[in-house]
């Protein structure tokens, strides 16, 4: 069950870039007007609206109003994207790693389909894009450039042919794993099985690079990151992860690996989920897991009592959410370690049940920008953080693919 999200009503409309959007609420201490104008457009690396459509609506768009999703507790809709100055979004076509691979392939195709249909429903506000030229054209037209990213290598069913077809349908990054290992790469949150990439996993990465599909290192183990970085090629991305030096979650990245990502020209896009941001929230999550196991052991055969016991614990022990400052700490840490050229936003909005306080939905990016400006970030570095770094990385991947256009496709035998 998702928590109720507090709505941030004090953010002003970015009228200089998007045109008038009606009345605006009173300014907050972190109003976007604290930034030099015009503020740079945000390119976020990971939003899970497609997952919401699947879980809530079975991918049926009839009756779905993307102009107002607050009543159903979502973090994303068109007015709030505008208020947050979002100019480009990677929509995550995530499917559960628990699915058998053939079902995962089908579900990914359905996720691509539903997001394309949603974008097509809003041609005045959104533009489906598969390259940077389209992104820049969308910005000139004051539309939200909408790109697709696949979350989890199980989505290709162990097939390079399926990978190529997903690229043909518009997927422009793939996260190599999700919370579990797959047959060819290790996840950060599973027991190591391959010590990184298998030989087939190496082929997957090289084929992605040849195509121009960004290699996403979110969710993967550090051994998998090591193997990808050793292959060279265009820069990788990390679409929604943070710094392990601040929060020791397995999903976060060590300073040693951050340095390697920076040296490779990559980008780390920082997540807003408290257990990845705030160390106290990570500790809370571990305590809750222990309490859930305890409630189950004490109430065997009585699931209602088990759920009631855990609900009582949740009420007595709310998760420490942290604040905008905590996310800014991760951004600052990464930028100081490897440079402002290698950090971005990957909020994971609508993919998590809670965020840090003050970054509750897609309207709140200006609050984070204002916090960073107060810390001394220049307008030039804020522009890199907002969209310039992602634009550079994707252009580099496109140039690499263009240079390798005549290379033969990598092959592997089919499995059935």
Contacts of 286 (CB under 8 A, 6+ apart): none
CB 181 within 8 A of CB 193: yes
Catalytic residue among 101, 151, 222, 361: 151
Nearest to 217 by CA among 261, 249, 248: 261
Catalytic residue status for 65: no
Contacts of 276 (CB under 8 A, 6+ apart): 241, 242, 247, 249, 251, 252, 282
11-34 burial: b if 16+ Cβ within 10 Å, else e:
bbbbeebbeeeeebeeebebbbbb
List of E strands, 157-276:
171-175, 214-216, 237-238, 267-270
Catalytic residue among 125, 222, 332, 348: 348
The alpha carbons of the chain give a radius of gyration, in whole angstroms, of: 21
Catalytic residue status for 407: no
Contacts of 56 (CB under 8 A, 6+ apart): 72
Catalytic residue status for 30: no
Catalytic residue among 30, 154, 194, 219: 219
Catalytic residue among 30, 46, 249, 333: 46
Catalytic residue status for 219: yes
Catalytic residue among 178, 194, 330, 333: 178
Catalytic residue among 30, 194, 240, 333: 240
Catalytic residue status for 178: yes
As a whole number of angstroms, the distance between CA 68 and CA 76 comes to 8
How far, CA to CA in Å, does 344 sit from each of 128, 269, 340, 347, 413? Answer: 21, 4, 9, 10, 38
Length of the chain: 416
Q: Which residue has the tokens 């969209």?
A: 387
Nearest to 221 by CA among 262, 169, 180: 180
Catalytic residue among 30, 44, 48, 361: 48
Catalytic residue status for 122: no
The residues assigned a catalytic role are 46, 48, 151, 178, 219, 240, 348
């Amino acid at each position: 069950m998702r928590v109720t999200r507090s709505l941030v009503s004090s953010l002003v409309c970015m009228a200089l870039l998007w045109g008038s959007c009606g009345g605006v609420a009173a300014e907050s201490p972190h109003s976007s007007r604290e930034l030099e104008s015009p503020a740079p457009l945000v390119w976020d690396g990971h939003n899970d609206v497609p997952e919401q459509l699947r879980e809530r609506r079975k991918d049926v768009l009839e009756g779905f109003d993307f102009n107002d999703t607050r009543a159903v507790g979502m973090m994303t809709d068109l007015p709030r994207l505008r208020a947050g100055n979002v100019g480009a979004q990677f929509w995550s076509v995530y499917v559960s790693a628990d699915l058998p691979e053939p079902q995962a392939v089908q579900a990914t195709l359905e996720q691509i389909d539903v997001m394309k249909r949603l974008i097509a429903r809003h041609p005045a506000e959104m533009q489906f894009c598969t390259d940077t030229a389209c992104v820049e054209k969308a910005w000139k037209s004051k539309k939200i450039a909408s790109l697709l990213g696949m979350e989890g290598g199980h989505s290709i069913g162990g097939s390079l042919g399926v990978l190529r077809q997903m690229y043909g349908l518009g997927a422009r990054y793939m996260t190599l794993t999700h919370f579990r290992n797959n047959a060819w790469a290790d996840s950060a949150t599973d027991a190591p099985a391959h010590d990184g990439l298998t030989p087939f996993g190496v082929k997957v990465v090289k084929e992605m690079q040849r195509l121009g599909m960004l290699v996403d290192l979110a969710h993967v183990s550090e051994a998998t990151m090591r193997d990808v970085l050793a292959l060279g090629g265009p820069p990788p991305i990390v679409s929604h992860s943070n710094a392990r030096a601040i929060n020791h979650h397995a999903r976060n990245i060590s300073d040693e690996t951050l340095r390697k990502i920076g040296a490779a020209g990559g980008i780390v896009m920082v997540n807003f989920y408290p257990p990845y941001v705030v160390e106290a929230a990570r500790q809370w999550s571990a305590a809750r897991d222990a309490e859930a196991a305890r409630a189950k052991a004490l109430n065997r055969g009585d699931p209602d009592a088990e759920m009631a016991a855990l609900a009582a614990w949740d009420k007595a022990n709310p998760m420490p959410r942290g604040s905008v400052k905590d996310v800014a700490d991760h951004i600052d840490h990464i930028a100081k370690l490897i440079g402002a050229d290698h950090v971005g936003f990957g909020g994971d909005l609508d993919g998590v049940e809670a965020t840090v306080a003050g970054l509750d939905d897609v309207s709140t990016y200006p609050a984070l920008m204002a916090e960073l400006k107060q810390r001394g970030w220049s307008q030039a570095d804020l522009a890199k953080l907002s969209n310039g770094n992602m634009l550079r990385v994707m252009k580099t991947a496109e140039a690499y693919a263009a240079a390798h256009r005549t290379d033969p496709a990598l092959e592997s035998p089919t499995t059935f």
